[in-house]
Amino acid sequence: MTHVHSTATRPGTAAGGDPLRAPISTRVVVDASGAGATGLSEALSALGLSPEAPDAGAGAGSEAPAAYCALLLGEEAYGAERSAGLDRERIRTAALAMAAAGRGRLVLVTDATGETHAGTDPDRYARLAADRAWWQHLVTEVAGRGVTGNTVVTGYSPDLGHHLSEAAEAGLLRYLVQRRPTTAADVAATVAFLVSEGCSYLVGETVPVDGGAGLGQIPSLPAGTPTLAPRRSAPQDQPPPEPVTGQDLLGHKVLVAGASSGIGRAAALHLAGRGADVVLAARRTQALEEVAAEIEALGRQAWTLRCDLSDPEDAATLGERAWKAADGVTTLLYAAGHLGFSTVGGDPASAARTFAVNLHSFVAVTEYLTARWREEKVPGAVVGVSSVSSTLSPVAGLEYYGASKAAMAQYIRCLAVSVARHGIRANCVAPGIIETPMGDAAGPEHRRGWISRIPAGRVGDPREVAAVLGFLLSGSAARVTGAVLRADGGFGLGDVAPLRPGFPEFVEVESP
């Protein structure tokens, strides 16, 4: 059954989008000098932010900046100048001032990937690696006091001061999934997200704005082709990023699978707030109707489709039904999930349902839509909701859940390579413990133990995950593909609260 909801904007309804997209402050300290700082500052200004240099005379008693962006650029293989490294004292002073104020965003923009390249200086790489390790420790230190810190990896970017010969650049681009350099605008759009109100549960994460360089794609190189320049996807082929507020998803039709509750519901409302029309799919039709009514109140259109994603036949038709209902779908958000438990000796029924919902139905919907996008030359985007259980947090009885979510993440990474040539992106978000019905499945003791290992010191809110999902589906993430981002409050940093000086006791902090 399909229900259609009106797109007419009601008098008095907001048209400015989700407030979580707003920057925590329009003033952003950009701590660097040279071409990289100039290029990034100009791109941030174009998004409505106000970059400024750090106050060299600022001391411990100075006013805390709300948003601080440090540049660490020195990748020799990209032709970068030798880096002077991070000004650790200055950055630490700013971070502690933020922590004292209980609010702030730290962003490291770097071209240092940790990869090795023949003929380059190992000591130079070691210094960059040391600064990145120092940054992660600083992020962990302030995470529990209202400050989130993350890293942007740029890839090859002449806008930020990288210089290669034409032949060397052609060789490098051949190994990229998206065959073009990263622009300052690409980086600025991601920085704008990381200093936004909604970026509050992404802690210590690395966002690869590198066109899939880190995926390790191995291209085919027939005899005689190594010296030929590959086809480049010109930056001008991509629409410029929208300002950091406003309805940047107008014209998009998003299929949200698992939209009746939790992260899927929050994401559907977030996307509608940014201007998207939404196809809502789940088993519980009454809950879908309630979400659709809220989307209609935002002035957007909604369609509701009942679909049991544990049923292979039902799931196999969802992509086509959504396409027909909305007259096309431009993006897919798969937020459905089943927390299936195992027992000693196995539980075939639980295993079948868990893999059906978490993996097989996701693959079926994704493959239908990516095929349609290729046929109709639609630059679509897919984002799947995985889990930190895919790589971290092994829990007794969750073998099926963890394995199914790990398979989803690897499928996304491989898909990103396969469809990039068609202008299609694929990414994944791996939430930690979130305040949802699924998050409530953890018993009090397990929940307490889990939170004690989260540097942010609290459970995440579905809206915080929705903000990350919205970023990945939007044009602001045009250079991000094949990424798996953990929205886990820093759990993936591996911090153990009882081992940290000054944290002898566990204190639960309420979610925002």
Q: Which one-letter amino acid corresponds to residue 21? A: R
405 in catalytic set: yes
C-alpha dist (Å) from residue 116 to 106, 136, 151, 172: 27, 21, 20, 14
Where does 253-487 sit in CATH, by number? 3.40.50.720
387 in catalytic set: yes
**Which residue in the list 125, 401, 411, 474 is annotated as catalytic?**
401
- The C-alpha angle 7, 11, 15, rounded to 5 degrees, equals 65
**Which residue in the list 350, 405, 474, 476 is annotated as catalytic?**
405
Per-residue pLDDT 10s for the chain (512 aa) are 555 554 333 333 333 457 888 999 999 999 987 788 999 999 999 999 999 999 754 444 567 899 999 999 999 989 999 999 999 999 999 999 999 999 999 999 999 987 777 778 889 999 999 999 999 999 999 998 999 999 999 999 999 999 999 988 888 888 888 889 999 999 999 999 999 999 999 999 999 999 888 776 766 666 655 443 444 444 445 555 555 557 899 999 999 999 999 999 999 999 999 999 999 999 999 999 999 999 999 999 999 999 999 999 999 999 999 999 999 999 999 999 888 777 666 788 888 998 999 999 999 999 999 999 999 999 999 999 999 877 765 566 678 888 899 999 999 999 999 999 999 999 999 998 898 766 555 666 666 777 777 888 888 999 999 999 999 999 999 999 999 999 988 888 765 444 444 443 433 433 33
* Burial of residue 124, with CB atoms counted within 10 A of its CB: 0-12 exposed, 13-18 middle, 19 or more buried: middle
Q: What is the DSSP string of 320-383?
A: HHHHHHHT---EEEE---------TT--HHHHHHHHIIIIIHHHHHHHHHHHHHHHHT---EEE
Where do the CATH 3.40.50.720 domains begin and end in the chain? 19-217+224-237, 253-487
C-alpha dist (Å) from residue 345 to 192, 342, 492: 49, 8, 30
**Going by C-beta distance under 8 Å and a sequence separation of 6 or more, which residues neighbour residue 368?**
316, 318, 319, 320, 323
The CATH architecture one would assign to domain 19-217+224-237 is 3-Layer(aba) Sandwich (3.40)
CA atoms within 13 A on the CB side of 196: 30
**Which residue in the list 233, 260, 387, 474 is annotated as catalytic?**
387
401 in catalytic set: yes
- Residue 36's CB is within 10 A of a number of other CB atoms, namely 27
C-alpha dist (Å) from residue 148 to 67, 109, 195, 478: 10, 15, 9, 23
